[in-house]
């Protein structure tokens, strides 16, 4: 575990040039590549089965474009406000998130058995998505405050976990297990980089196992969610259907894919949720190994750039923000792609920058804005 | 922080590895699955082949039938359009609609209950997009009624479908059999029939282009020819392979093949003769029932059932085969109603579905005697010890005292009580009994003596089972191999078999030892000798033709329809217009099937023939000698017989009166087996090669001479005088009696539906 660099931020240092010069242009280019790829496959997954005279359904595509525009604006604003100065806002954002997550439990719309959405006319809004950057910010702020000595003290680790635990607990009540897993990845990444001792990790993991065990036996997890997890190990179960069809779709693509709009698994709607959680099956089927590998390479390079930004960050707060975003993207990409290929259990986690869905898209672009923000204020 | 980088790199390596595995290594298999995923095969029923008689008369045909179908998807869409959305409301609408439909169907003469329609509609074997037949064979008027009310009956269609038609009604029902819906077990049994083993990979199976796939609700032959030749009669269903999306919407038609009808089956049966045989069989049983037993104490002649077979002894072709009681295969077209099923299952109905000619076993009784006689000559029993030569007249005191039974001992009464004295029927005494007359008079004593001689003679001189060996050579007690399902083998009992049965099941067979009495019983075809009417016919055919035993044919040929041609890759060969090139197939003919040639000693054969002719021709002239047992049947019209021209069309035959059960609670079975025209110079008749063998067994009908022989005499008389009437089709009979279709009452202009004659495969 890398010890964080000590030292205070040099606020007197002059920033060189305007913001758009100081940001990481590679992150922009890689993101644009992923967004473009995402738009194409979301359109392919949602245009419908076309027969003679049928008009393709553009509604998903158009909305996705709007989400991206909104996300870019939100991300731009996030990048522009100096994160060091905005640090004071973190508790406010945290409080706001808690209020939203409580509100969604009370007034939200239930869909697929989870009360996770606020329904609006144009698009549904998912507060647990927007809580992701808040989670990153609050943990980065806390651990950068308490980590100034050699090792994190156990009590501080526990306080950090409690801060994260409140948000996670509220999301679990929806219940949305997938998002909680993403939260967990963010926590893990930040805590590790903040310098937790192995002994503390063991204790925390022990507590976590006990908590999960209590949830399972206490009936807090719904049977459908349990089924999805056990389906991972049981190829005959009915829940395995989605994964089977996704694997067939990906295999059907072969090296070069069936061609855009030509995937039979896609056109026959044999893979459920193919425009969101199972979007990678469409990539794999229609664009083949070439397309799938390209997507993974783009993600890999993006993560490498974020890792570099963390490395170059001017202070621990910025570094932990970048680490949090890194962990989130890494986990979501691995879980989503891995689930499509039958390596991971089925949980509703969208593929960042690719899957259809407004809350997720805007969240991801805000997170990239945060990373750019950190990069813009790096040490030279 | 480095640890995060390491984790990230390893996770991405794993993702790449899995992607490579799925898209490079597993791709071929997964692509196959993906192709199957989007294809669905829709099958259209092909017409079954027809069944024809030897002269080309169509016995089983297909006709168009009006059916009512409901398409669940169309119904659902229509209801949604009418704003009936909740499933409860839809079910309610459906119930009302079906109630109305049931009322309309019942009003048109077909009693239908709401539950019938709902049961049909909920058949799980149909998909959401298929038309489900809910009522068959309905009045065509319904087409107009439904057509005028599309809003009241959404998704309901009145369509035409092919069903079986029987132009001769219930005639030849046991031969033709019937069709019905395939059962789960049958479906499983046929599962591999439409695939072939992949020559490149024996584990794999490929679709057979000429395969005949079944699905639930398909019709399949259940009995008779329909069952035995199911694989030939069944057509190749038309297939349409379509690509569908996950909601079942049609995306694309990938391939489409029209149905091809099944092969026609041509029988050896002559429908004219068949109809006459069925009529005369029924009449013979009716007459037997009217007769009164000579002793009022005896059980009455209930004559509930019987069977008769006519065969050509020159080639083993079955010309007619009747079994009574019978059934109407037309009842099975729409499935049996509860009442119809109850009637068929009623024990007092005596199993109408059973084809007694092949699937019921009877004692052979006196008809067996010629085979005992042949065995006696073959194994030199004539002239052995107490047995006279076959041409020496003997005196028959009316009984035979078994030599090995201790009648000479002091305890004579016990020996008699044990059955050591075997008696003639009615204790009749007769003089001048040589082999010939033993047959004409039907002396039992003569054969008791032969039977006992076989058993008590040293085995190295005369085999104990010599009679059974010869009888078995004539095919008695074994399946004949006729092309009909459910044939029984019967039984030819031997000492070993009796012992074996006793050891296997001592409760059912308490006695294991074989006695002289057993052999004496065998010699007159009683004991446990069990034969089918067809076996006896076949054995007499061998007597008639000089010793050739056939495996009888009831089918003369299979005529395949023209078929598509396949290239070496299994693809259909097409002409420039993309139409498949059809090729004709040669019919598959069933040649006479000789099982074996028996070398019957010539002198004994002549004596037996003279004896069999005596059965019909020997008049009673002397006080101490009876006449031929069937003399009256063939000579005395006032005695219930016919005035038969025996000189020009001589009939050789043998009566039989078979004891069934213990002989006191049920009347005897009446039997006759005979053939003609067959004369000898001794009798001063025309001498010709026999062309017809006929056997009949009338259950519980008394004496063979009184009920069975006159029946055969009437049949042979019709044949000999060439007066077998032309069989009438059911529609001709209906026309004669003025019976009209219910459908015609409303609309006299409209005749009954045209029956398609050349296979309505369109």
Number of domains in chain B: 1
- Does residue B707 lie in a domain region? yes
B472/B298 Cα distance (integer angstroms): 34
DSSP class per residue in B328-375: -GGGGTT---HHHHHHHH-GGG--TT--HHHH--B--GGGGHHHHHHH
Of A251, A269, A326, the CB nearest to B31: A251
In chain A, where does DSSP find H-type helix? 19-22, 25-46, 59-80, 83-86, 90-107, 127-146, 154-172, 177-194, 198-218, 223-231, 241-253, 264-267, 279-312, 316-340, 358-376
Return the minimum-mean-pLDDT range out of A23-37, A136-150, B10-24, B352-366: A136-150
Q: Do B251 and A267 touch (CB under 8 A)?
A: yes
Is residue B177 assigned to a domain?
A: no
Position B387 in a domain: yes
Which whole number is the average pLDDT over A280-299? 95
B chain contacts of residue A268, beta-carbon cutoff 8 Å: 37-38, 243-246, 251
In which domain, by residue range, is B374 found?
271-341+349-406+419-553+592-720
pLDDT for res A9: 44
Q: Look at residue B91 and tell me if it is in a domain.
A: no
Q: Which CATH number covers residue B442?
A: 3.40.710.10
Q: Report the chain A residue with the minimal C-alpha distance to residue B8.
A: A330
Interface with B, mutate which of A143, A268, A296, A335 (most B CBs under 10 A): A268
Share of chain A above pLDDT 90, in %: 53
Given an 8 Å threshold on Cβ–Cβ distance, is B35 in contact with A264?
yes
Per-residue pLDDT of A165-215, as tens digits, reads 999 999 988 888 889 999 999 999 999 898 888 888 888 888 888 887 887
Tell me whether A267 touches chain B (CB under 8 Å). Answer: yes
Q: Judge: A1–B3 Cβ closer than 8 Å, yes or no.
A: yes
Q: How confident is the model at residue A1 (pLDDT cuts 50, 70, 90)?
A: very low
Q: Which residues of A touch B30 (CB under 8 A)?
A: 247-248, 250-252
Categorise residue B137: left if φ over 0, alpha if ψ from -120 to 50, beta otherwise. Answer: left
Q: Which residue of B has its CA nearest to A316?
A: B1
Mutation target for A interface from B2, B3, B4: give the one with most A CBs within 10 A: B4
Give domain status of residue B457, yes or no. yes
Q: How far is B38 from chain A (nearest CA, A)?
A: 7
Q: Answer yes or no: do A270 and B246 touch at CB < 8 A.
A: yes
Average pLDDT, chain A: 86
Beta strands B58-70; B548-551: pairing state:
unpaired
Which pLDDT belongs to residue B238?
A: 78
C-beta atoms of A248 and B15 within 8 A = no
Using only C-alpha atoms, chain B has a radius of gyration, in whole angstroms, of 33
In sequence order, the 6+-apart residues with CB closer than 8 A to the CB of B633 are B616, B639, B640, B641, B642, B705, B709, B710, B712, B713
At A119 the pLDDT is 85
DSSP assignment of A64-133, as one string? Answer: HHHHHHHHHHHHHHHHHS-HHHHGGGHHHHHHHHHHHHHHHHHHPEEETTEEEEB--SS--B-HHHHHHH
**Assigned token pair, A222:** 């719904």
pLDDT of residue A39: 96
Q: What is the tens place of the pLDDT at every residue in A323-356?
A: 999 999 999 999 999 999 988 888 888 999 999 9
Is A268–B245 a contact, with Cβ atoms under 8 angstroms apart? yes
Nearest Cβ partner for B23 among A289, A326, A334: A289
Instruction: Pick out chain B residues at pLDDT < 50.
Output: 742-762
From chain B, the residues in CB contact with A249 under 8 A are: 34
Position B192 scores a pLDDT of 67
CA nearest A307: which of B10, B12, B13, B8? B8
- What is residue B246's predicted lDDT score, i.e. its pLDDT? 54
Residue B648 lies in a domain: yes
* Backbone phi, psi, residue B19, to 5°: -60, -45
Min Cα separation B21/chain A (Å)? 9
A289 touches chain B (CB under 8 A): yes
Q: Is B22 in the A-facing interface, judged by CB distances under 8 Å?
A: yes
Chain A interface includes B511 (CB < 8 A): no
- Tell whether B543 is covered by a domain: yes
User: What was the pLDDT predicted at A250?
Assistant: 94
pLDDT digits (tens, 9 = 90+) for B468-494: 999 999 999 999 999 999 999 999 998
pLDDT score for A309? 94
Which of 240-259 (A) contact B at CB < 8 A?
Answer: 245, 247-255
Q: Is residue B220 part of a domain?
A: no
pLDDT value of residue A32: 96
- What pLDDT was estimated at residue B758? 40
Residues present in chain A in total: 380
Q: Could you tell me if B11 lies within 8 Å of chain A, comparing CB atoms?
A: yes
Determine contact: A270 vs chain B, CB below 8 A. Answer: yes
Do the Cβ atoms of B31 and A252 come within 8 Å?
yes
**In the prediction, which pLDDT does B128 show?**
63
User: What ranges do the domains of chain A cover?
Assistant: 20-45+58-106+115-235+297-376
Q: Per the CB < 8 Å rule, is B30 touching A303?
A: no
Chain B nearest-CA distance from A251, in A, is 4
Q: Scan residues 168-207 of A and list those with Cβ closer than 8 Å to B.
A: 189, 192-193
Q: Is the pLDDT of residue A2 over 50?
A: no
């Amino acid at each position: 575990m890398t010890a964080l660099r000590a030292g205070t931020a040099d606020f007197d240092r002059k920033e060189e040039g305007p913001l758009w010069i100081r940001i990481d242009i590679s992150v922009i280019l890689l993101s644009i590549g992923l967004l473009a790829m995402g738009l194409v496959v979301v359109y392919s997954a949602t245009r419908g089965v076309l027969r003679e005279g049928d008009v393709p359904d553009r509604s998903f595509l158009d909305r996705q474009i709007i989400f991206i525009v909104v996300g870019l604006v939100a991300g731009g604003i996030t990048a522009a406000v100096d994160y060091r100065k905005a640090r004071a806002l973190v508790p406010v954002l945290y409080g706001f998130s808690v209020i939203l997550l409580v509100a969604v439990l009370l007034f939200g719309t239930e869909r697929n058995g989870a009360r996770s959405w606020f329904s609006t006319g144009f698009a549904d809004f998912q507060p647990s998505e927007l809580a992701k950057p808040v989670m990153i910010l609050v943990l980065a702020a806390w651990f950068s405050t308490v980590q100034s000595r050699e090792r994190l003290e156990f009590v501080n680790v526990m306080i950090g976990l409690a801060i994260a635990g409140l948000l996670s607990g509220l999301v679990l009540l929806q219940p949305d297990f997938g998002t909680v897993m993403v939260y967990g990845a963010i926590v893990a990444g930040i805590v590790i980089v903040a310098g937790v001792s192995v002994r503390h990790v063991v204790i925390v993991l022990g507590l976590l196992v006990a908590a999960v065990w209590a949830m399972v036996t206490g009936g807090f997890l719904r049977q459908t969610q349990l089924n999805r997890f056990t389906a991972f190990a049981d190829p005959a179960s009915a829940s395995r259907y989605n994964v089977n069809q996704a694997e067939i779709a990906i295999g059907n693509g072969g090296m070069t894919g069936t061609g855009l709009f030509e995937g039979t698994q896609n056109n026959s709607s044999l893979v459920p949720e193919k425009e969101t959680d199972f979007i990678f099956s469409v990539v794999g089927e229609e664009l083949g190994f070439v397309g799938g590998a390209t997507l993974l390479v783009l993600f890999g390079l993006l993560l490498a750039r974020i890792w570099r930004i963390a490395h170059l960050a001017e202070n621990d707060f910025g570094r932990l923000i970048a680490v949090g975003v890194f962990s989130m993207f890494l986990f979501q990409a691995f879980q989503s792609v891995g689930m499509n290929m039958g390596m991971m259990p089925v949980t509703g986690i969208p593929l960042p920058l690719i899957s259809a869905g407004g809350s997720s898209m805007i969240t991801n672009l805000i997170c990239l804005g945060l990373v750019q923000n950190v990069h813009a204020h790096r040490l030279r | 922080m480095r640890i995060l980088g390491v984790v990230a790199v390893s996770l991405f390596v794993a993702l790449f590895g899995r992607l490579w595995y799925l898209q490079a290594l597993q791709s071929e298999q997964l692509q196959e699955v993906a192709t199957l995923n989007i294809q669905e095969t829709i099958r259209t029923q092909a017409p079954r082949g027809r069944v024809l008689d030897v002269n080309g008369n169509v016995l089983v045909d297909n006709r168009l039938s009006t059916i009512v179908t409901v398409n669940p998807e169309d119904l659902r869409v229509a209801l949604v359009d009418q704003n009936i959305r909740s499933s409860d409301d839809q079910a309610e609408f459906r119930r009302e609609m079906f109630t109305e439909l049931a009322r309309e169907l019942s009003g048109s003469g077909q009693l239908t209950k709401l539950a019938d329609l709902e049961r049909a509609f909920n058949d799980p074997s149909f998909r959401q997009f298929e038309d489900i037949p809910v009522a068959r064979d309905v009045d065509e008027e319904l087409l107009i009624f439904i057509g005028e009310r599309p809003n009241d009956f959404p998704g309901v269609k009145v369509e035409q479908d092919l069903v079986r038609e029987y132009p001769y009604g219930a005639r030849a029902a046991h031969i033709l059999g019937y069709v019905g819906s395939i059962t789960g077990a049958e479906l499983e049994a046929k599962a591999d029939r439409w695939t072939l083993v992949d020559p490149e990979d024996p584990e794999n199976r490929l679709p057979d282009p000429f395969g005949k796939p079944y699905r639930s609700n398909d019709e399949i032959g259940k009995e008779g020819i329909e069952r035995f030749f199911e694989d030939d009669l069944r057509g190749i269903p038309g297939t349409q392979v379509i690509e569908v999306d996950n909601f079942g919407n049609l995306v694309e038609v990938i391939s489409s093949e029209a149905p091809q009808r099944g092969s026609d089956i041509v029988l050896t049966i002559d429908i004219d003769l068949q109809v006459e045989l069925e009529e005369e069989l029924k009449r013979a049983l009716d007459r037997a029932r009217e007769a009164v037993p000579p002793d009022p104490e005896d059980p009455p002649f209930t004559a509930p059932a019987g069977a008769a077979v006519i065969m050509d002894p020159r080639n083993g072709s079955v010309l007619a085969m009747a079994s009574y009681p019978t059934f109407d295969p037309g009842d099975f077209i729409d499935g049996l109603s509860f009442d119809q099923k109850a009637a068929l299952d009623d024990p007092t109905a005596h199993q109408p579905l059973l084809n007694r000619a092949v699937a019921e076993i009877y004692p052979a009784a006196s008809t067996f005697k010629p085979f005992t006689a042949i065995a006696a000559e073959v194994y030199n029993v004539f002239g052995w010890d107490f047995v006279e030569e076959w041409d020496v007249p003997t005196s028959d005191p009316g009984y035979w005292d078994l030599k090995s039974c201790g009648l000479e001992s002091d305890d004579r009464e016990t020996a008699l009580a044990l059955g050591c004295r075997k008696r003639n029927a009615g204790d009749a005494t007769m003089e001048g009994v040589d082999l010939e007359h033993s047959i004409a008079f039907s002396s039992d004593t003569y054969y008791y003596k032969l039977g006992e001689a076989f058993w008590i003679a040293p085995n190295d001189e005369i085999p104990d089972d010599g009679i059974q060996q010869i009888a078995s050579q004539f095919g008695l007690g074994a399946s004949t191999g006729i092309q009909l399902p459910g044939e029984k083998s019967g039984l030819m009992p031997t000492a070993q078999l009796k012992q074996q049965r006793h050891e296997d099941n001592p409760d059912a067979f308490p006695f294991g030892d074989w006695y002289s009495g057993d052999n004496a019983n065998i010699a007159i075809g009683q004991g446990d000798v069990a034969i089918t009417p067809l076996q006896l016919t076949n054995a007499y055919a061998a007597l008639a033709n000089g010793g050739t035993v056939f495996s009888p044919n009831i089918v003369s040929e299979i005529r395949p329809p023209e078929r598509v041609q396949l290239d070496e890759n299994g693809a259909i060969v097409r002409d420039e217009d993309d139409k498949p090139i059809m090729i004709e197939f040669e019919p598959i003919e069933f040649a006479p099937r000789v099982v074996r040639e028996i070398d019957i000693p010539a002198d004994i054969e002549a004596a037996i023939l003279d004896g069999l002719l005596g059965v019909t021709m020997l008049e009673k002239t002397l006080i101490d000698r009876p006449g031929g047992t069937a003399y009256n049947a063939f000579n005395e019209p006032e005695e219930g017989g016919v005035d038969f021209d025996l000189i020009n069309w001589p009939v050789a035959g043998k009566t039989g009166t078979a004891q069934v059960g213990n002989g006191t609670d049920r009347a005897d079975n009446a039997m006759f087996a005979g053939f003609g025209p067959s004369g000898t110079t001794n009798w001063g008749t025309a001498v010709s090669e026999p062309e017809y063998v006929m056997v009949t067994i009338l259950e519980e009908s008394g004496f063979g001479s009184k009920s069975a022989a006159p029946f055969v005499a009437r049949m042979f008389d019709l044949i000999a005088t060439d007066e077998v009437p032309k069989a009438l089709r059911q529609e001709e009979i209906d026309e004669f009696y003025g019976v009209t279709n219910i459908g015609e009452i409303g609309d006299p202009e409209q005749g009954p539906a045209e029956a398609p004659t050349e296979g309505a495969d369109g």
